[in-house]
Amino acid sequence: MSEAMQAAFFAGNGAVELRKVPVPEPGPGEVALDIRACGICGSDLHQFEGRWPQPQFVVGHEIAGEVCVVGEGVNEWVIGDRVCVEPFLYCGTCRYCMAGRYYQCDAMGFLTITADGGFAEKMVCPAYALYRLPGNVDLASGALVEPLAVGVHAVRVVEVNGADEVLVLGAGTIGQMTAAAAKAFGARKVAITARHGYQAEAARRLGIDDVLTTEPEMLQQQVTNTFAAGPSVVFETVGSACGTFQQAVDLAGRLARVALLGGNTGPVDSFDFSPIPTKELTLHAPLAYSQIGTRRDFELAVELLAAAPEAYAQLITHRFCLSDIQQAFELATHKSSSKAIKVMMVR
């Protein structure tokens, strides 16, 4: 009989449970990992709470661990290598993959959606999905590469540069990561909106220039005071259910680029499109991460994390054992009372 391990699966709205499953074995071109850290993402919470369909695979896609078994034909990894995981699965040969936009691959899969993810003791993934972690990045922080790569991709798609003044709406993990990426890519000024004091303090420790309110009328005045000509780039990271899609185009300066990163969890009612042609705005909807030019967003995210590991590590506000996965998800859904930014499973 195969050796068994613990792994987490969704079990209805508001429920995630541990089950005993066989320990996976890598096939050709694959590796097996001892999972050391896996973060709870906003998309995981949408599934947990029933706003998105619940997949039938092991949950979790913000993953770091150590290589424990190497499959046939894998020469670039050895047992003990410390890695993070890019969760897209793809063919590598279609026109989208060849262009670096493998998230558009017709055969595209994603850990937790089409294959087992990281809230488990071990997992198997393709060797191409791994990225080596530098020595100064611990494994818990290594699991932050995935959300940081989301911010890096958004900043690269919008082409943030040294002339830009950037506003980020939302100070959750993706908002914080996007703001930090904009700073790293040379934006002249970066401001972020934060609902809670603990989010504001985390943003300041990341080096964000200004922290603004989320109260709409006061925010409008603060934006006017902070950006003489309005922000040249606005990143929306909250989601369609919160009214911030409209806020993003309303607050943007003339000729600005607006990027919508927040999850689509419901229809946007009575959206006023008039600011878009009036100010000649350009809208972007960056999806996750990919390769732009010769560099992958994950590669750059690893480098940014290694340049300031302590600043990013402070975003991990809560750590849980795998056995407490239900409690971890419940805490992550109540960020106001728990003061959570990133909730992490660690082993």
Q: Kindly list the averaged pLDDT for each block of 10 residues, start to end, along the chain of length 347.
A: 87 97 97 98 94 95 98 98 98 96 96 97 98 98 98 98 97 97 98 97 97 95 97 93 88 98 78 95 95 97 97 97 98 93 97
Domains and CATH numbers, the chain: 4-144+315-346 (3.90.180.10), 149-284 (3.40.50.720)
Intra-chain end-to-end CA distance of the chain, in Å: 25
213 Cβ neighbours under 8 A, 6+ residues apart: 193, 194, 219, 222
Identify the H or E element spanning 97.
helix 95-98
Tokens of 347: 């082993």
Alpha-carbon distance 118 to 63, whole Å? 6
Using an 8 Å Cβ cutoff, are 249 and 274 in contact?
no
Biggest CA pair distance of the chain: 68
Tokens of 85: 């995981």
pLDDT of residue 1: 39
Q: Is 236 helix (H, G, I), strand (E, B) or coil?
A: strand
Alpha-carbon distance 147 to 156, whole Å? 15
Q: Which residue has the tokens 């002339």?
A: 163
pLDDT of residue 2: 60
Q: What is the dihedral of CA 11, 15, 21, 24, to 10 degrees?
A: 100
Q: Which of 174, 209, 216 is nearest to 192 (CA)?
A: 209
**Residue 150 Cα to chain centre, angstroms:** 5
Q: Which residue has the tokens 């990013």?
A: 312
Alpha-carbon distance 145 to 335, whole Å? 21
